[in-house]
């Protein structure tokens, strides 16, 4: 890992537990960014992108830190191996930083940053795919406007006397504003998976995590998948040029380690034309081609397995060359048909306290004696209680 020394403004390399405390920058890329190689050029400070590096260094000095990490200049992107290692490690690096500086270069000094039409709420930072992990992984975030004026601070491990995670925000309105903008209600209590102090991200359904990025974008299609590696606890090589195949590979790698049936809950609430526009699914697995198909899933909750069905989901699965082998409850639609409903143990948050749980189900048709072919997804409202 390369870190920039805030005193010498030179890069230094560290390995493992010898890495010193550091601050990390979260920002959006613009014109004339300073690269790894540019730091050897005496004129690199003349580039437009150097101003944010200088601001980051000055803030780190004020915070008593000697090193910073900035993705523009701390990765040698000429080396495909180093780039791959950095992208696969980035979630952890943000989680292990002492503090993350969120620099919003399109936000001027404002009095009411929480107003719905404020520059803060409209900031480009909230629309980019890479900044999702930079919001979730760090233990402490300091938000700054374009002049490096402090907007607010969130420390996910320290609560004030009134229960707020914020410094200088007694009402928690800024946390609520970020939750409203991102659709992630508990963003301020999630920390990287290397720590157990805050809410466990593993308790969040996969479909919900994918919904968090569904309204974001990246310059390259593949980066929509690569930016999710840490959040899904997946490592895989980068293959730029594979297009939507990157998101399929991401799901396949996830299925090699875990099985979360909500991976099949995509496209609900979308009409057939919209699903077709997004490319549908990849046969034979029934996996979505893009996280955009999970936009509806922000309120998905896991129910107690089999509570209302009388037959628990066993969680047995395997990804085979012929498709996804999985054991889940099946309901036959009628005795004369080969059509079934695969019932998922998921509901939406607004129905979680209801006595008539609303389940999600996927219609299947028997292909042969042992295989089922997915059709389109539907939402079931019938009472499926077995007693």
Structural domain boundaries in the chain: 2-196, 206-301, 307-380
Apex 270 CA angle, 266 and 276, nearest 5: 80
d(CA 236, CA 215): 24
Predicted confidence at residue 382, as pLDDT, reads 45
Q: What is the pLDDT of residue 370?
A: 65
pLDDT reported for residue 279 = 59
Average of per-residue pLDDT across 165-188: 73
SS3 360: strand
**What pLDDT band is residue 193 in, cutting at 50, 70 and 90?**
low
Task: State residue 378's pLDDT score.
Answer: 41
Within 13 A of 351's CA, how many CA atoms are on the CB side?
18
DSSP class of residue 128 equals: B
Whether 194 contacts 92, CB under 8 Å: yes
DSSP string, 181-219: HHS-TTGGGB--TT--SSB-GGGS-HHHHHHHHTT-B-S
Spatial separation of the C-alpha atoms in residues 232 and 205, rounded to whole Å: 11
Q: Are 328 and 261 in contact (CB under 8 A)?
A: yes
Q: State residue 36 phi and psi, 5-degree precision.
A: -55, -45
Q: How much is the pLDDT for 369?
A: 67
What pLDDT does residue 372 have?
Answer: 66
Q: How many helices (H) and strands (E) does the chain have?
A: 8, 19
**Per-residue pLDDT band at 385 (split at 50, 70, 90):** very low
For residue 366, what are the β-bridge partners?
372
Q: Any idea how long the chain is?
A: 387
CB distance 53 to 148 below 8 Å: no
Tens digits of residue pLDDT in 198-244: 457 778 889 999 999 999 999 999 999 999 999 999 999 999 999 99
Scanning the structure block, which residue is given the tokens 């909750």?
301
* pLDDT band (50, 70, 90) for residue 343: confident
Q: What is the largest CA-CA distance in the chain?
A: 78
Write down the pTM of the prediction. 0.84
Mean pLDDT (whole number) for 11-32: 95
Mean pLDDT of the chain: 82
Contacts of 111 (CB under 8 A, 6+ apart): none
Question: Cα dihedral angle (179, 180, 182, 185), rounded to 10 degrees?
Answer: 40
Backbone angles phi, psi at 258, to 5 degrees: -140, 160
- What per-residue confidence (pLDDT) applies to 65? 98
Give the percent of the chain with pLDDT over 70: 75
Least confident of 43-47, 176-180, 283-287: 283-287
């Amino acid at each position: 890992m390369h870190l920039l020394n805030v005193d010498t403004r030179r890069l230094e390399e560290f390995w493992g537990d010898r890495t010193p405390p550091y601050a990390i920058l979260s920002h959006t890329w613009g014109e004339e960014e300073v690269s790894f190689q540019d730091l050897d050029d005496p004129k690199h400070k003349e580039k437009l992108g150097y101003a944010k590096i200088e601001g980051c260094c000055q803030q780190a000095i004020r915070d008593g830190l000697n090193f910073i990490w900035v993705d523009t200049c701390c990765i040698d992107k000429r080396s495909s191996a180093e780039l791959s290692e950095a992208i696969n490690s980035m979630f952890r690096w943000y989680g292990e930083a002492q503090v993350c500086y969120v620099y919003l270069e399109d936000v001027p000094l404002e009095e009411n940053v929480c107003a719905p039409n404020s520059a803060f709420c409209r900031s480009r930072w909230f629309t980019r795919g890479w900044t999702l992990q930079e919001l979730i992984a760090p233990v402490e975030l300091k938000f700054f406007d374009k002049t490096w004026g402090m907007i607010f601070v969130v420390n996910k491990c320290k609560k004030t006397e009134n229960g707020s995670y914020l410094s200088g925000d007694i009402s928690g309105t800024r946390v609520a504003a970020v939750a409203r903008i991102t659709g992630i209600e508990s963003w301020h209590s999630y920390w990287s998976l290397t720590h157990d102090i805050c809410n466990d991200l593993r308790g969040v359904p996969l479909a919900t995590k994918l919904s968090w990025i569904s309204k974001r974008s990246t310059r390259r299609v593949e980066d929509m998948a690569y930016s999710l590696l840490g959040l899904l606890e997946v490592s895989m090589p980068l293959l730029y040029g594979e297009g939507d195949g990157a998101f399929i590979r991401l799901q396949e790698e996830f299925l090699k380690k875990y099985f979360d049936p909500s991976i099949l809950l995509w496209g609900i609430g979308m009409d057939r034309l919209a699903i077709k526009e997004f490319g549908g699914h990849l046969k034979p697995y029934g996996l979505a081609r893009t996280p955009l198909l999970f936009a509806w899933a922000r309120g998905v909750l896991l129910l107690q397995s089999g509570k209302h069905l009388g037959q628990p989901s066993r969680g047995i699965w395997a990804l085979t060359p012929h498709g996804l082998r999985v054991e889940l409850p099946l309901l036959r639609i009628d005795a004369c048909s080969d059509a079934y409903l695969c019932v998922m143990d998921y509901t939406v948050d607004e129905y979680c306290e209801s006595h008539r749980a609303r389940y999600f189900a996927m219609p299947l048709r028997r292909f042969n004696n042992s295989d089922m072919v997915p059709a389109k997804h539907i939402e079931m409202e019938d009472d499926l209680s077995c007693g």
